[in-house]
């Protein structure tokens, strides 16, 4: 999941630094070109076949997909609004959780943890990112959901405005959009920490010392100098984590409750685009599959958009630091 994210950052650095000595021209170079063309074909096929399969839906139900929340299988109409809202709702809450906790975690790792423990913590973070998402989902479903149902939800419902935010229906659900958001937040935390830690760690030491020498406290150093210098890269990390959250499938499918529910209420069951594809696909045929493919196209556009923003930000951060 997330060594890749860090690799993406590195690959641009390497590309900028090292130029190949020569372009080989031989049978060997032909093999390389064939492989490259094959990969290009796969990527075109990847986008093309999903889009092609979704075409009937865009032609016949294009408007419904984006505006309606009624999903009636097997014949339609297929409204994707509740999945789209669910995706944004869960991802953004997850992101808030991950950014607040992750920023504190990264700062602690870079500034407060003794150097010899740093590699251990970094390895742990990477391992946590490697845990398959179905395992997070399992844990959320079998451990956290019962606890939410019995303990957390009744407590939350005692809050003022609980009805508006959480939607107390008199019935408590274990699996809910809130649970999905929390599990997602835990899942994208390692991704965010892996990148933000690197971005924070490369803020030049002498800028930190300069601020301390002016009488800044450690927190002022972090807040006024380190974080502003790392700002763009941190936004990059945020967008990448958001991209991860929007694309997360099975964990959400397990803990959100798998209900196409257009309510915004957090304690109700709901679903997301990716989770809905995963839960509905097995029982679908014909037009419904095409509608799910159309949801896939939306997911792809959303994901590519976020990934491109993230890449642009991170490479701009690199330029800023190069100038320092």
Partner 1 sequence: MTEIQAVPTTQVVTPRVRGPIEMQLKNVAVSFHGRTAVRDCTFDVEKNRVTSLIGPSGSGKTTLLRALNRLHDLTPGAKVSGQIILEGTDIYRGNLTVTELRTRVGMVFQRPNPFPTMSIYDNAVSGLRFNGIKKKSLLDEAAESSLRSAALWDSVSSRLKVAASNLSGGEQQRLCIARALALEPEVLLMDEPTSALDPVATLRIEELMTSLKSRVTVVIVTHNMQQAARISDDCAFLLMGEDRAGELIEFDTTEKIFNNPVDSRTLDYTLGRFG
Partner 2 sequence: MTDLIELEEPTEPSTSSREEIRRISDNARARRVVTSRIMVALCGVALLIAAVPLVALLYQLIDKGAGQLNLDFFTKLPQTPTLIAPNATGGISNAIVGTIALTLYASILAIPVGVLVGVYLAETNSKFATTLRVIAQTMAGAPSILMGLFAFSFIVHDLNVGFTAIAGSFALAVLMLPVIIISTEIAVRNVPNSLREAGLALGAKPHMVSTKVVLPSAVTGIVTGVILAISRAVGETAPVLLVIGGGFTNSWQPFNPVSAMPLAIFENAKSEWPSQRAQVWGIALVLVAFVFVLSLTARIWASRKQQVRN
Residue 143 tokens, joined: 């451990």
Quick check: 312 binds partner 1 (CB under 8 A)? Answer: no
Among 17, 160, 215, 282, binds partner 1 (CB under 8 A): 215
The answer to whether residues 267 and 178 touch, using CB atoms and an 8 Å cutoff, is yes
- What is the rounded distance in angstroms from the CA atom of residue 127 to the CA atom of residue 40? 31
Residues 4-43, interacting with partner 2 (CB under 8 A): 4-5, 7-8, 10-11, 14-15, 17-29, 31-36, 38-40, 42-43
Quick check: 317 binds partner 1 (CB under 8 A)? Answer: no
- What is the rounded distance in angstroms from the CA atom of residue 148 to the CA atom of residue 172? 9
Which of 104, 204 has the CB closer to partner 2? 104
Among 179, 234, 291, 307, binds partner 2 (CB under 8 A): 307
Quick check: 207 binds partner 1 (CB under 8 A)? Answer: yes
Read out DSSP for 226-240?
IHHHHHHHHHHHHHH
Among 92, 138, 212, 309, binds partner 1 (CB under 8 A): 212
Which of 146, 154 has the CB closer to partner 2? 146
Cis peptide before 231 (omega within 30 of 0): no
Which residues have C-beta within 8 Å of that of residue 306, sequence separation ≥ 6?
Answer: 239, 240, 242, 243, 246
Which option in partner 2, partner 1, none does residue 210 bind, with CB closer than 5 to 8 A by kind? Answer: partner 1
Which residues have C-beta within 8 Å of that of residue 4, sequence separation ≥ 6?
Answer: none
Residue 169 tokens, joined: 């229906």
Which segment (61-69, 70-78, 246-254, 263-271) binds partner 2 by CB under 8 A? Answer: 246-254
Which option in partner 1, partner 2, none does residue 240 bind, with CB closer than 5 to 8 A by kind? Answer: partner 2
Residues 56-95, interacting with partner 2 (CB under 8 A): none
Among 9, 110, 225, 243, binds partner 1 (CB under 8 A): 225
Least distance from C-beta 312 to partner 2, angstroms? 11
Among 175, 211, 246, 272, binds partner 1 (CB under 8 A): 211
Question: Following CA atoms 194, 195, 201, 203 in sequence, which dihedral angle do they give, to the nearest 10 degrees?
Answer: -170
Please give the backbone phi and psi of residue 71, each rounded to the nearest 5 degrees, phi first: -115, 105
Least distance from C-beta 61 to partner 2, angstroms? 17
Residues 179-218, interacting with partner 2 (CB under 8 A): 186, 189, 193, 215, 217-218
Which option in partner 2, partner 1, none does residue 85 bind, with CB closer than 5 to 8 A by kind? Answer: none
Cis peptide before 74 (omega within 30 of 0): yes
Distances (CA, A) of 107 to 149, 235, 314: 34, 15, 18
Quick check: 316 binds partner 2 (CB under 8 A)? Answer: no
Distances (CA, A) of 225 to 195, 210, 233: 19, 9, 14
Which option in partner 1, partner 2, none does residue 323 bind, with CB closer than 5 to 8 A by kind? Answer: partner 1
- What is the rounded distance in angstroms from the CA atom of residue 172 to the CA atom of residue 181? 17
Which is nearest to 248 in space by CA: 311, 186, 166? 186
Which of 95, 199 has the CB closer to partner 1? 199
Which option in partner 1, partner 2, none does residue 169 bind, with CB closer than 5 to 8 A by kind? Answer: none
User: Where does residue 111 rank: exposed (0-12), middle (13-18), buried (19+ CB within 10 A)?
Assistant: middle
Which of 195, 266 has the CB closer to partner 2? 195
Q: What does the binding site for partner 1 look like in residue numbers (CB under 8 A)?
A: 114-115, 204, 206-207, 209-217, 220, 224-225, 228-229, 231, 320, 323-324
């Amino acid at each position: 999941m997330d060594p890749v994210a860090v690799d993406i950052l590195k690959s641009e650095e390497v590309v900028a630094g090292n130029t190949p000595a020569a372009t080989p021209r031989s049978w060997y170079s032909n093999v390389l070109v064939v492989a490259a063309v094959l990969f290009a074909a796969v990527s075109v096929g990847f986008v093309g076949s999903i889009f092609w399969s979704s075409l009937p839906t865009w032609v016949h139900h294009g408007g419904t997909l984006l505006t309606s929340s009624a999903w009636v299988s097997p014949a339609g109409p297929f409204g994707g609004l509740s999945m789209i809202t669910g995706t944004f709702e869960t991802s953004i809450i997850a992101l808030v959780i991950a950014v607040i906790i992750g920023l504190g975690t990264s700062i602690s790792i870079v500034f407060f943890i003794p150097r010899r423990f740093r590699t251990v913590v970094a390895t742990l973070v990477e391992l946590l990112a490697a845990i398959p998402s179905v395992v997070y989902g399992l844990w959320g479903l079998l451990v956290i959901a019962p606890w939410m149902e019995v303990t957390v939800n009744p407590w939350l419902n005692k809050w003022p405005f609980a009805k508006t935010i959480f939607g107390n229906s008199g019935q408590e659900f274990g699996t809910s959009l809130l649970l999905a958001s929390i599990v997602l937040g835990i899942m994208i935390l390692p991704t965010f920490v892996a990148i933000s830690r690197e971005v924070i760690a490369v803020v030049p030491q002498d800028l930190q010392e300069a601020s301390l020498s002016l009488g800044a406290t450690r927190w002022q150093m972090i807040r006024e100098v380190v974080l502003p210098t790392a700002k763009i890269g941190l936004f990059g990390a945020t967008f990448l984590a958001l991209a991860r959250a929007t694309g997360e499938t099975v964990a959400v499918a397990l803990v959100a409750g798998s209900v196409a529910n257009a309510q915004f209420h957090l304690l109700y069951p709901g679903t997301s685009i990716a989770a809905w594809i995963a839960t509905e696909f097995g029982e679908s045929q014909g037009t419904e599959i095409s509608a799910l493919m159309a949801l896939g196209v939306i997911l792809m556009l959303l994901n590519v958009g976020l990934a491109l923003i993230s890449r642009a930000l991170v490479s701009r951060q690199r330029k800023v630091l190069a100038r320092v």
